[in-house]
Amino acid sequence: MNTVVRELRAHQLAGQDTRRLRELAEPLSSVMVEPKGTGWPEHQRRYALELVANGVSGWFGPVSEVVLTLIRDNHAAGLIGHDVLEHRNFPRRSIVGRHCSGAHARQAQSVLELACWDLASRATGTPVGALLGGAARTAVPVYASALGLDVLHPGTPEAAEWIDSAGFWGQKWALPATLIDLGPMAVDTCLSRIRAAVPDARIMVDGLGQCRLDQALAVLPVLVALRLTWAEELVEAGSAAWLSLRSRAAGGVPMAAGEHAYDPGEQSRLLTDGLVDIWQPDVAWCGGISRALHTAQVAADLGVATFPHGGSLAAAVALAGVCTARAVPAVEYHLTIEPLRQRVVVDALRPINGELLVRSIPGLAEYALPAGALPISLGAVQ
């Protein structure tokens, strides 16, 4: 059968470009900060995973070296012989080794699951959305993540105006530790410039989990007064500090989290215990598209909207495409990081008037493999 996995291969991709991004519009490029982490090993030693069946392959990338090692050691043997059309059997396959939970383990499971959907789609000639039950829409709004822009820069209001005029659903700005340390008056001054530039826009902030509880409590009235759409991870989601902050934030600014909720139990706790107002799974980290779809449906039942993070933009759009606009209003598009991520694919996803088209052909993406490079076998039918 052409849907049964017979071999797993890895293809090395080019490392992420460490040079400053040049293609941004001027209002953005003038306030851009140097990308963080471009020299990290996970960004420089990257691979495309290939699942080989009879005459057709499924793909996912980029995959870091540490995640690829987990796939080879823990998952490859149990995936050989798996029929990707039997998606409910995917969690039941054999997994060996001790490292079966946590961030890297869930990434390994996620990328394998996404590669299985890619293979099933290509083998049947059916778009991924159709395999998931049928597309609910042909385009998905995106919100602009401006975390790569300097929120303290004098040109920030012009950048905010450009984002708004480009049609993005909303815009999310970082609250870096340097700003938080200056106190709530400095935060108010900084964010008020953005609010004055785009008075009717949806504005969100991401604390990157770097605030102390006392700092988060002090800045909370500022965020409420500025009518923010959400505040993301001012402190670690689900922690004691989070519970204290959430009790104070009730009825004020909605609290968003989920990106770092890797394990199913933590995902369920955040949702069913009512600990989040906005749900933000990352499809490439949370267990894959099936798991993300399940949590999005649970969130919708609880009246919580889902905004998928953009660790894998193609997978996030595929997820959003089978959900209603009420369940998944928009997905994240990182203004400065996404163009760098997209350099490993042939047809980059670029927003048009603040939207991304839902893919209507088989597969999730095509990858730009370096010419002449030999694949690495991770396991095959003996």
172 exposed, middle or buried (CB, 10 Å; 0-12, 13-18, 19+)?
A: buried
135 located within any domain: yes
Beta bridge partners of 367: 345
Residues 101 and 216 grouped into a single domain: no
Domain co-membership, 306 together with 212: yes
Q: Is 80 helix (H, G, I), strand (E, B) or coil?
A: coil
Q: Is residue 104 part of a domain?
A: yes
140 lies in the same domain as 99: no
- In terms of domains, do 100 and 150 share one? no
* Claim to verify: residue 149 and residue 35 sit in the same structural domain: no
Q: Which of 125, 145, 174 is the last residue of a domain?
A: 125
How many domains is the chain built from?
2
Token pair for residue 139?
């385009």
pLDDT by residue for the chain (382 residues), tens only, comes to 689 999 999 999 877 775 556 778 889 989 998 776 666 666 677 899 999 999 999 999 999 999 999 999 999 999 999 999 999 998 888 888 777 777 888 999 999 999 999 999 999 999 999 999 998 999 999 999 999 999 999 999 999 999 999 999 999 999 999 999 999 999 999 999 999 999 999 999 999 988 999 999 999 999 999 999 999 999 999 999 999 998 887 778 999 999 999 999 999 999 999 999 999 999 999 999 999 999 999 999 999 999 999 889 999 999 999 999 999 999 999 999 898 888 888 988 999 999 999 999 999 999 988 877 788 898 887 6
Q: Verify that 93 and 198 share a domain, yes or no.
A: no
- 381 C-beta neighbours (distance < 10 Å), count: 10
- B/e letters for 43-77, b = 16+ CB within 10 Å, e = fewer, are bebbbbbbbbbeebbbbbbbbbeebbebbbebbbb
DSSP states of 52-100 = E-SS-EEEEEEEEHHHHHHIIIIIHHHHTT-BTT-GGGGGGS---SS--
pLDDT at 315: 96
CA distance 311 to 106: 13
262 and 339 in a common domain:
yes
Residues 85 and 185 occupy one common structural domain: no
> Measured at the alpha carbon of residue 298, what is the angle toward residues 101 and 109, in degrees to the nearest 5?
25
Q: For residue 125, what are the CA distances in angstroms to 77, 118, 120, 367? A: 27, 10, 8, 18
SS3 12: strand
Residue 372 lies in a domain: no
- Residue 371 belongs to some domain of the structure: no
Which helix (DSSP H) or strand (DSSP E) does residue 217 occupy? helix 213-225
Residues 64 and 148 in one domain: no
| DSSP structural state of residue 342 | G
In a domain, 18, yes or no: yes
The structure tokens listed for 269 are: 């706790």
Query: Domain of 13?
Result: 7-125
**Cα–Cα distance for residue pair 225/373, rounded to 1 Å:** 55
Strand-pair partners of 279: 257, 306
Q: Which two three-digit tokens encode residue 91?
A: 């969690």
Task: Judge if 117 and 137 occupy the same domain.
Answer: no
